[in-house]
Amino acid sequence: MEVKAFDKAHILHPYAPSQPLADMQMVKSASGVYLELESGKRVIDGMSSWWSVIHGYNVPELNAAASEQLSKMSHVMFGGLTHEPAIKLAQTLLKITAENLEHIFFSDSGSVSVEVALKMAFQYHHSQGNREKTKILAFEKGYHGDTFGAMSVCDPVTGMHSAFEGILHKNIFAAAPQPAFDAPWEEHYLDDFKRKLETHYSEIAAVILEPIVQGAGGMRIYSPEFLKGVRRLCDRYDILLILDEIATGFGRTGKLFAYEHAGISPDILCVGKALTGGYMSLAATLTTKKVMQGVEHGGNVLMHGPTFMANPLACAVANASLKLLLESPWQERVMMIEQQLKEELGRCRDLEIVEEVRVIGAIGVVALKKPTDLALLTPMFLSHGVWVRPFLNLIYIMPQYVITAKELSHLTTAIYDVVAAIEFENL
């Protein structure tokens, strides 16, 4: 059987039917900001493989780090053993994140790092004898991953609650964060959150939130004042705050971590995606001494331990990726991308079909007034030489920080042209 036919017949892809109508694009190789497709066609990747490939593909420094680590050991169990790549990575992560974070748990994906964060929060209370705290306060339009705990804190409508009705843990949801990033702040934006906290605080173990940008739940960019207010209220009600920086971490919003926009710090922090520069799956959950002391009260320990915990190969690549990032003018680059996205994607506002254009850091979103049609848009984008994968009514890009102004213009022009064609031809 031809390989693509085999893929179509047997291999499941994300959120896709087992018998897909459209063909997958086969990628032969990737380099810089380009994906090389089966046909030999090179397209600019606007997605950075879902936020992760911040330095571009096939990066000499990351390749070298992987080869060097491979020649030593690719993997070793983390129970009773430890290794330098993990220690070095922990040192760097604890140094570049908020000062109060002192402990780190490595896991193999963003969703699992969220599971670990939820376990930390629940065990913190349960170990100290507070068994009423069995719920998480999450936000509408939030997204935190696809495992069961993570799904239970995703948006109850656009998330996967309806597919798992009666199975998912029932949590409490507050209205999505408001207002937009630069909009004037009014205290009433916090009312719904405050009300939920006041009513349910005795059963809430933690609040979970994506700081500043809600990603896969709707690509919403909200005010740092809201985040400040959430921190203040969590402190008032003695509730732990989990910040999910899996998408926003490592410079994506123009700050190394998005919570820096609000000058706050979390009690528990999740990072993943760009941690290895998008080379392989690795994530981490960081927390404070206070949380770990609570978890371990009465002789308990945190109940988690994946087989590939702190995989040395992934840690070595993460170390090289962080070195590359921190020694680069990443902030200048991200701010230049932001400026260019504001100007060039901003042109889309002239189109009738466009509801809103939203930009922060190296994230650009064109929200349409109607849902997008992937089967229609994918070939249109490919014919413009770009890889862009919309969802809901959202056409969005989060380019690699190393993208040139010319390559970025190619992406934004493709988006404008495609949106204009949808409008003009009423597709």
Q: Which residues are catalytic?
A: 15, 143, 244, 273
145 is a site residue for ligand PLP (CB under 6 A): yes
Question: Is the Cβ–Cβ distance between 212 and 261 less than 8 Å?
Answer: yes
344 is a site residue for ligand PLP (CB under 6 A): no
Instruction: Determine the Cα angle at 348 with ends 346 and 352, to 5°.
Output: 135
Question: Is the Cβ–Cβ distance between 388 and 395 less than 8 Å?
Answer: yes
Beta bridge mates, 174: 139
Residues 81-100 that bind ligand PLP (CB under 6 A): none
Residues 271-290 that bind ligand PLP (CB under 6 A): 272
Rounded Cα distance between 313 and 295, Å, is 30
Give the CB-nearest residue to ligand PLP.
Answer: 110
Binding mask 101-130 for ligand PLP (x = CB under 6 A): --------xxx--x----------------
Q: Is 347 helix (H, G, I), strand (E, B) or coil?
A: helix
Number of residues that bind ligand PLP (CB under 6 A): 15
Beta bridge mates, 216: none
Rounded Cα distance between 153 and 161, Å, is 9
257 is a site residue for ligand PLP (CB under 6 A): no
Nearer to ligand PLP, 111 or 393 (CB): 111
Q: Is 30 helix (H, G, I), strand (E, B) or coil?
A: strand
- Select the span of 131-139, 244-252, 339-347, 355-363 touching ligand PLP (CB under 6 A): 244-252
**Minimum CB–partner distance for residue 272 and ligand PLP (Å):** 5
**Minimum CB–partner distance for residue 139 and ligand PLP (Å):** 12
Rounded Cα distance between 347 and 365, Å, is 12
Residues 195-224 that bind ligand PLP (CB under 6 A): 210, 215-216
**Tokens encoding 356:** 């809103």
Nearer to ligand PLP, 244 or 267 (CB): 244
Binding mask 21-60 for ligand PLP (x = CB under 6 A): -----------------------------x----------
**Minimum CB–partner distance for residue 24 and ligand PLP (Å):** 19
- Binding residue for ligand PLP (CB under 6 A) from 8, 83, 126, 144? 144
Taking the CA atoms of residue 40, residue 341, residue 318 and residue 212 in that order, the dihedral angle to the nearest 10 degrees is: -140
Q: Which residue has the tokens 């009300």?
A: 195
Amino acid at 45: D
Rounded Cα distance between 366 and 380, Å, is 16
**Minimum CB–partner distance for residue 184 and ligand PLP (Å):** 27
Q: Is the peptide bond before 156 cis (omega within 30 degrees of 0)?
A: no
Rounded Cα distance between 416 and 422, Å, is 10
**Minimum CB–partner distance for residue 145 and ligand PLP (Å):** 3
- Select the span of 16-24, 36-44, 139-147, 374-382 touching ligand PLP (CB under 6 A): 139-147
**Tokens encoding 385:** 């030489």
365 is a site residue for ligand PLP (CB under 6 A): no
* H or E element, residue 159: none
**Minimum CB–partner distance for residue 391 and ligand PLP (Å):** 11
Q: Is 137 exposed, middle or buried (0-12, 13-18, 19+ CB in 10 A)?
A: buried
Nearer to ligand PLP, 261 or 410 (CB): 261
**Minimum CB–partner distance for residue 52 and ligand PLP (Å):** 8
Rounded Cα distance between 255 and 117, Å, is 23
* Contacting positions for ligand PLP (CB under 6 A): 50, 109-111, 114, 143-145, 210, 215-216, 244, 246-247, 272
